[in-house]
Structure 1
Amino acid sequence: MSKQKIYSLFFKLLLSIILLNLNGLLYLFIGTTGIISPLILFLSVYLITNSDDRTFSKLFTGYFLYILIYLVVGLISLIVSLQVGANTLSTIADIIKTLIFVSALYLGYKQELKYNSSIINFTCWVIIISVLLSFGLDYINIAAIQGNYRTEMRMSGFFANPNELAAQALFAILSVQFLYKQYINKLYRLILFIILLICAYSMFMAFSRSIFLAFFILLFLQLFVYRGISMKSTFFVVCSILLLSIVLPILYESVNVNLQKRIDTSLEIFDVGLSDRNTGGRLNLINEAFVYIYENPFLGIGIGNMQRIEGVGGVHNAYLAVWGNAGFFVLLYFLFFLAILLKKLHKYSIEKRNTFILFLILTICINGLSKAGVFEFKINNLVLALSLAVLASSNLKGKSHA
C-alpha cells in the first residue's frame, strides 16, 4: 500500500471517529471516553508529520495566531487577576488540543482534496450516518435502557447533549442538499429524501433553540439571497408552510410531556418577546457574565473563569466566554477572523454555486450565541478545518457575481 493510501486511510479513520462521535458511543455503553482520545492525538500527529505539504494559508495563519493570542493573553490575565477557575486547566488543554486537531485536519483535507475529490462526499455521508444511528438508538430505546444519557426530555442518540445532536442533524440536512445535486438517479434522490425526513425529525426531537434559529436563517438565505426570489422558491415556501402546519401538531402530540413544556415555553417568544424563561435562562447568564467581564474588560479575568457562573456550567455564549477569558481585543480579533472567513466563503459560494460549507460555518457561528465551547468542539473544528482547506485549495476569481 502506498504512503498516500495509508495517509488517506488514517485521515478517513480520524474523520469517522469524530463524526460518528465514537467517544459518545463508548460512553453510552461502557461509561468511559478515555480510550479514544489517545487514538485521536496519535492520528492527528501522524497527519501533521506525514503531510505532503505542511504550508498554511494566510487565513489559517490568522486562525493559528488567534489561538496563540487567546492562550497567551488568557494566561497573562490569570496572573493579573489571581483568579484560577475550576475549569482553567481543562480549558487550556482544550485550546492546545484544538490547535493540534485543526492543524491535522486542515493538512489532511488539503492533501485529500488534491488526490481525492470525493472526500467532501465521504464527510457528508459520515455526518448523515451519525444522525441515522442516533435516530436508530432512540427508536429501539437503547439509549434510554443504557441510562448514561438523559433521554426523558429530548433525543440525544449517542451524543452527550441533545444540542449536539440537533447541530449534527442540521449538518446532515445540509449534507443531503449537497449530495442531492450530485445524484440524477430518482432512486438515490428518493433515498436522500427519506434521509432528509429522518434528519429533520431528529433535529425537532433534539429541540435546540439556537439550531432552529440557525435553520430558519439558513433557509431564508438559501431561498431569497443565494437563489433569489422566484416562482419556484415561493411555491416551495408555501408548500413547506402547509406541510409543517399539518406535521408539527402531530409531532407535538406524540412527544413526552417534558418536551411539550419546552416547546410551549420556547413559543412564548412570539407572544412576549425574549425573556429569561423562554431562552432557557440565557439572558440572566449574559447579565452575570458581564459582571465578570466588567472586572477587566480589556484583559479579561483569565482562561476558565467564565465557568464560575453557577447553575448550568458557565456563560453559555462562546463570544462572551472569549471576552471574559482573554479580553475585548482578543474577541475583536476573533470576530474579525470570522468575518473574513464568512466573506471568503460567501464569494466561494457564489462562484461555485454551492452554499454547503458557508452554511455549516454559519450554523456554528449562530449556535455560539447560546452555547459555550462550540469553537472547541471536535466536530465543529473539523468543519472549520474543511472550510479553510477548501478555500486554500480553490482558485477564486477576482470578480464576484450571483
Structure 2
Amino acid sequence: MVHQTIRTSRPSASRASSRISSMRRRYGWALIVGMLAGCASVPLPEPVPATAPPPAPSAAAPADEAAPGAPLLQGRSRWVPVRWNELPGFDDDALHEAWNAWLRSCERPPAAFAALCPQVRQLSIGSAQEQRAWMRERLQPYRIEPLQGAAEGLLTAYYEPLLDASRQPTARHTVPLYRPPATLASRKPWYSRQEIDTQPEPRAQLRGREIVWLADPIEALVLQIQGSGRLRITEPDGSVRMARLAYAGSNEQPYRSVGGWLLQQGAVRDASWPGIRSWLRDNPQRQQELLWSNPRVVFFREEPLGDLEAAFGPRGAQGVALTPGRSIAVDKESIPYGTPVWLASSGPVVTLNRLVLAQDTGSAIVGALRADWFAGWGAEAGELAGRLKQPLRLWALWPR
C-alpha cells in the first residue's frame, strides 16, 4: 500500500484513540491464533556491522547490564545498540495487542526473523510478562539514528476512509474510481489527472475500467491520497455491500499537496482539510484547478471485506494486512519490512510508547526517523490521522 499523508483538523483525537482500542479489543488475537500455519521467508536486506556484530549478553548478566556492542549500518540509518531500560514505557505496553501485527508479519517475515516465528505464534497466548521476558532474551534493541542531520524524527498517521459509493453512475454519483488501465506499463509516467479529465485518449483507455462512482471529487482525492478505503456500495438491485478498494498502482506522476498549493498562492493560512473545504465553499469555481494541482492518480482493485478482513487494514508493502495502532509505514532503506520497532512520540495529539511492526511504506516516508502510523478506518481515525504531526524516536528490535 502506497499513500501520502493527509491532514484534517478536529478536536477528537481521544475519541479516535478510544475507537481504535475498542476495535482491537473486539478483534483481538483470538481471532487469528492458530490460523498461521507457517512463516514463508522473504529475503530482505539485513543490517551490516559498522565494525563488528554486537556480542550476545552472557547468561549470568541481566539484559540491561549486558554490553550493547557496536553500531550497525542499515541503508540510510545507523543502529546504535542500547539497553532495554532506554525504551520508554516498555514495561507498560499491552504487548498482546501488538502480537496481532507480529503474527501477520510472520506470514512473510524477513529472513532474520523466520526462525523466531514459531515462538512468536506460541507466545500469542502467553502473558505479557512471558512476552516481555522472551523479547529481552532473544532481541537486541537499537536506537535508530540518521547518518546525517537532526536526531529527532517526525510521526504522522494515515487511515482508511469510509465512503458511500454506487456501482453505476447516477445523477449524484459522477466521479469514477478505476482499475489500472491495460496501457499503464507502456507509458511512464502515464497521463496526469488533468490529461485524464480533458483528453480523449486516456479517457478511452479507462472506459470499462470503472469500479464504482463517488458523489464528491474531493472524497475521491482523499481516497487516492490514503491509498485504500472501505466502501458502502449500492448495487444495481438496491442492495448494499461492504468492500475495500486497495492500492493497485498509480500513473507515476509526482504527488503534489493541494494544501501546499493553496499555501503557495497565499489563498489559505489553514491547509488542513477543514481549511481546504472552507476555501472551496468560497471558491467553488476553482475546484477543478485545485484537483489538477495534484497530477497523481491512484488506481485500485476491489477486495472482499468479510468479518476477518474487516478486523484489519489493507495489505501494506510487506504484503500482510495492517493492524490498527500497531502497524507503521517506514522508509524500507532504513528499516526492513517485518522489523518489530519500539515507537515513542509525545505531543499535543497523543502520547505513544508502544511496540509496532514496520509493514508499509509511502512516497512521503523518507529517512531514518520518519514513520506513518496506521490509525484504522472511518471519520474518527481520519480526524486523528489528520491532526497527528509530532516528534518521533524509534528503536529497532533485532535478533541477537
TM-score range, shorter chain: under 0.3
Report 1 or 2 for greater relative contact order, CA contacts < 8 Å, sequence distance ≥ 6: 2
Flag the structure with higher helix content.
Answer: 1
What TM-score, normalized to structure 1?
Answer: 0.26
Q: Compute the TM-score of the two structures, normalised by the length of structure 2.
A: 0.26
Greater strand content: 2
